[in-house]
Amino acid sequence: MFCGEPEKSRNHLLFACPYTYGLWLQIIGSLLRPTPSPDWAEILARIFHSAHDRLASIFLRLALQVTVYYIWRECNERRHTQRSRPAHRLAKVIEKTIKQRIMFTRYYEKRGLMEVMKRWFVAHMGFYALSSNGVLSSTPL
């Protein structure tokens, strides 16, 4: 579907396919180190059974949910309309959805969770900071 391979299994789609694996790596940024293999079972095990701090666990689970949803949507879009998006454009949609979800749940107002958005920016850009009132600045961390 994405890479031209005839295989359409869950394991291939999530994340053995080079398109979806590259997309996944772009979404998680530096939060899952060392870089995971493209094996679905290993990715799930590392997200759900490895020791992560609370913020990383929240982010990784949210990233997995949103990424799987948009991969499914992209697959259907390609099947029904024959239109496709490059991985970097789909990644922007996924990243925007994750940021909106974090802002919608108002993590920045909840004690102990206000660092979620900051962690997001650190994992992706490494130089943005989010103040306690949710304002983004370019001050180095």
Q: Are 86 and 94 in contact (CB under 8 A)?
A: no
Tell me the pLDDT tens digit for each residue of 3-33.
777 777 888 888 888 999 999 998 887 778 8
Q: What is the pTM (predicted TM-score) of this model?
A: 0.78
Structure tokens at 14: 């999530």
**What's the pLDDT at 139?**
41
